[in-house]
Structure 1
Amino acid sequence: MSSPVDDGVRRIGENIRTARRARGISLEALAGLVGRSKSWLSKIENGRMRLDKRTDIAALAEALEVSADYLLGQPAPEIRPNHPNHPNYNLARLQRVLMDAGPGDPPDVPARSVEVLRTVLQEVDTALRRVEYGTMTRLLPDLIGELYVHTATSPEPARSKALKLLILACGSGAAIMFRHLGEVNLAYISGERAQQAAELLGDPVWRGAAAFGRAHARGSANKPRPLMITPRIADEVEPHIGDDRFAHQVHGMLRLSAALARQIQGDHDGAADQAGEAARLAEPLGDAPDAFEMFGVANVGVWRTSLAVEAGRPGEALKYADKVDSRALSSHTRRAVLLMEKARAHAMLDRDADAVRELRKAERLSPIRVHNDPLIKELVADMLGRSGGSDLRGLAWRMGLI
């Protein structure tokens, strides 16, 4: 039976086979290197089984001496201006200000007051939560450039205020948007700019906030060092949190990142401990719409759902998901991620119809987040090979798979 997936869209297994043959490694040898059977790897390469765990992807990437981004087909395909749900955002101005200037090397532009720029950043944050990337690409270039001016030329306290805004604009704004758009290199640069600002500020909590942005600038299956050291970063931030609400939120998000790092290493108990600590931190904070990275009870539930999926425990994942009050998630994207993880869990239980239903709901909330996620693309391509239905084929078409 021929695959319904268009020849122009490569499955993860095809990328693994190409890398394996380029390295001159046999199926049996590669399977042995990652602790799997030859038949398992053969099914992956031939598209008869999907690869949906970051742990396995990371192990294969290490054995083949390639990046996980390559195996996942990242950066994402060019966003097609005439394809439904794939508007052609112009990233040139934002790319220029990130690559040609910096916190210590500002552009030659006039700068509005720090308080005015704070309100602009609030607009950016609102746009991110509503998946309005056009608004973000319009506002971010001037915002970041003018914050550079203040960090390089303004006296205190304006300079420190500008550095904090810059950490959020780059690490929690631009970097996340670029990840959603599949522009992983620009996401990494944004994270670096946030880190530079944090070093200039010299505050350990804000260093932690910047570290979170850097940790998630690249796909976690790459085992990027900024992600893998988050357990240590969280430990370093903990003595400085005091009774400051923002500091508790930063610490909590670092604990969740540490849980993901442990999970990717195959340390399920360590991941559970870190996630449990995050849940303990979230309980007294509740769910504040303006929290750093939406740290709160609901978002912890989303992360625990994802961690359970990654651990291969779909039933446990769905139990976590059912406890999440999605109304408390002030971001379309986080609601979409919850639905995406539920879809992955249903697929693990061979409930394709339920998986498609969850993905369609996620797509309505954040189409680009769904369409550019490599694991979701792999899942949809896999379901196409064994299932039918107009809903699945329509989703696949909108993702560029057929």
Structure 2
Amino acid sequence: MTDDEAGRIGENVRAARRARGMSLEVAAGLIGRTKGWLSRIENGRLRLERRSDIAALAQALEVSADSLLGMPAPEIRPDRRRFSLVRLQSVLLDAAPDDPPDVRARPLPVLRAELVRSDQALCQADYTTVMQALPGVIGELCVHVATADTAGRAEALKLLIRAYGSDSTCTLRHLGETNLARVSGERAREAANLLGDPVWTGAAAFGRAHARSSANRPRALMTSPQAADAVGAHIGNSRFAREVYGMLRLSAALACEIDGDHGGARQNAAEAAQVAAPLGDSPDAWELFGPANVGVWRASLAVEAGEPGEALTYADQVEPRALASGNRRAALRVERARAHAMLDHDAQAVRELRQAERLSPQQVHNHPLVRELVADLMTRAQSRDLRGLAWRMNVAG
């Protein structure tokens, strides 16, 4: 399906089902749903709002979830005028931790400072700054891996895992560049293999787990419980190890939820909350692991479980100022919007989406479930705020 042909998720489901020569009754039966339910999905009268349903349909129709989620229609995007993906794409595809580019590397302290600058910019959804700093940092760290002494090589590999697995993968995912995000996640794994540290291997595994849409049931996400167990055996007194372990437990909770294991999801999320409580919220925490971010994840998990009231309860318990990232504050708003929409609180959903867009426009505009939600809201309600949001996202009701 080309970008021009990609429509709402229901339309994509119908196209995939017909391409398989499968009847509504057969397709619905494969995922344990009724023919009427699937018909309403395909005709746009019911929104596919849970990743588990999308994953089940993709499996039944033998397509990737990405093909059902579709891609944004082609458009002139003002944000792309300020930066280009070419340099980051080049360093991801044409260099590697064990195959460095032919460039002169700045000293490690300088590269560490540049990575901090990239981290801070990413927290504020400032992708122009990220794109200015990150490609050079990645390439030069690869040079250090090849040329530094043992201590310098280890430090360069740790910085590379952060650059690949956190900054690059997250940035590319927010920009809708999922194929490049997957490459970045694989580069993080290569760096972790060279380092040979189980905790940093877990950090790389987290980035890989979230490089693709979770509705695809990517193997890296579905094996998060095992990755968390592996890190758990090496936590000791390390705060960083606890943060990695906690984020992997949250990933494991999402994997369980997508598989319909609500009990397993709750158990993993509760374990993450228990680990986060004594750590508190710190702006320097890896992936911002702490009670506030755990609350955002629990709100999302409740939405996935079809419990919008519970989701809003978790969201209300989160102090947004404790989240040192506009992206995470935007994610909180998105989950509140999804929960309100499930409760038919359309006006509240639109308000939350507008707030999320102000915090992180690229993340909101490229989130397939948000795009589907906005398209659905356009069929149910009309307001200037909603029409403006739909126009900026190039979404039609």
Q: TM-score, normalised by structure 1?
A: 0.96
Work out whether 1:39 is the aligned partner of 2:36. yes
Corresponding residue for residue 208 of structure 2: 214
Corresponding residue for residue 12 of structure 2: 15
**Whole-Å Cα distance in 2 between the matches of residues 87 and 342 of structure 1?**
31
Query: Quick one: which amino acid aligns to residue 152 of structure 1?
Result: A
Query: Cα deviations across residues 4-31 of structure 1 (Å, max 9, x unaligned)?
Result: xxx9761000100110000000011100
Corresponding residue for residue 130 of structure 2: 136
Corresponding residue for residue 27 of structure 2: 30
Corresponding residue for residue 60 of structure 2: 63
Task: Compare 382-391 and 248-257 and name the one that shifted more.
Answer: 382-391
Q: Which has the higher contact order (CA 8 A, sep 6+)?
A: 1
Query: Cα deviations across residues 367-394 of structure 1 (Å, max 9, x unaligned)?
Result: 1111110001101101111211111111
Query: Quick one: which amino acid aligns to residue 228 of structure 1?
Result: M
CA contact (8 A) 1:86 1:368 kept: no
| TM-fit CA distance, 1:80 | 2.2
Corresponding residue for residue 3 of structure 1: none
Corresponding residue for residue 349 of structure 1: 343
**Whole-Å Cα distance in 2 between the matches of residues 89 and 252 of structure 1?**
34
Counting aligned pairs with the same residue, the percent is 64
Query: Quick one: which amino acid aligns to residue 37 of structure 1?
Result: T
Query: Quick one: which amino acid aligns to residue 81 of structure 1?
Result: R
CA contact (8 A) 1:80 1:88 kept: no
**Whole-Å Cα distance in 2 between the matches of residues 344 and 87 of structure 1?**
31
Query: Cα deviations across residues 244-293 of structure 1 (Å, max 9, x unaligned)?
Result: 01010000000000000000000000000000000000000000101110
| TM-fit CA distance, 1:88 | 5.8
Query: Cα deviations across residues 46-91 of structure 1 (Å, max 9, x unaligned)?
Result: 11111010000000000011000110014x4556235xx6656310
**Whole-Å Cα distance in 2 between the matches of residues 31 and 239 of structure 1?**
43
SS in 2 for 1:121: helix
| TM-fit CA distance, 1:154 | 0.9
4+ aligned runs moved over 2 Å, structure 1:
76-82, 85-89
**Whole-Å Cα distance in 2 between the matches of residues 213 and 121 of structure 1?**
16
Q: 1:232 aligns with which of 226, 251, 267?
A: 226
**Whole-Å Cα distance in 2 between the matches of residues 397 and 233 of structure 1?**
41
Q: 2:395 aligns with which of 372, 392, 401?
A: 401
Matches within 5 A, 1:257-296: 257-296=251-290
Query: Quick one: which amino acid aligns to residue 37 of structure 2?
Result: W
SS in 2 for 1:195: helix
SS in 2 for 1:324: coil
**Whole-Å Cα distance in 2 between the matches of residues 219 and 9 of structure 1?**
17
**Whole-Å Cα distance in 1 between the matches of residues 10 and 261 of structure 2?**
25
Corresponding residue for residue 174 of structure 1: 168
CA contact (8 A) 2:55 2:65 kept: yes
**Whole-Å Cα distance in 2 between the matches of residues 401 and 21 of structure 1?**
24
Q: 2:153 aligns with which of 128, 141, 159?
A: 159
CA contact (8 A) 1:301 1:320 kept: yes
CA contact (8 A) 1:79 1:87 kept: no
TM-aligned CA distance change 1:370 to 1:294, over 3 Å: same
SS in 2 for 1:240: coil
Corresponding residue for residue 256 of structure 1: 250
Corresponding residue for residue 191 of structure 2: 197
Corresponding residue for residue 388 of structure 1: 382
SS in 2 for 1:290: coil
Query: Cα deviations across residues 125-183 of structure 1 (Å, max 9, x unaligned)?
Result: 00100101011111111100000001111111000000000000010010000000000
Matches within 5 A, 1:140-151: 140-151=134-145
Corresponding residue for residue 73 of structure 1: 70
Query: Quick one: which amino acid aligns to residue 207 of structure 1?
Result: T
**Whole-Å Cα distance in 1 between the matches of residues 74 and 7 of structure 2?**
14
CA contact (8 A) 1:79 1:86 kept: no
TM-aligned CA distance change 1:78 to 1:128, over 3 Å: farther
Corresponding residue for residue 360 of structure 2: 366
**Whole-Å Cα distance in 1 between the matches of residues 395 and 77 of structure 2?**
16
**Whole-Å Cα distance in 2 between the matches of residues 54 and 141 of structure 1?**
32
Corresponding residue for residue 311 of structure 2: 317
How many aligned positions are there? 393
TM-aligned CA distance change 1:18 to 1:319, over 3 Å: same
**Whole-Å Cα distance in 1 between the matches of residues 16 and 367 of structure 2?**
21
**Whole-Å Cα distance in 1 between the matches of residues 39 and 369 of structure 2?**
19
Query: Quick one: which amino acid aligns to residue 212 of structure 2?
Result: R
Unaligned runs of 5+ in 2: none
CA contact (8 A) 2:160 2:188 kept: yes
CA contact (8 A) 1:198 1:207 kept: yes
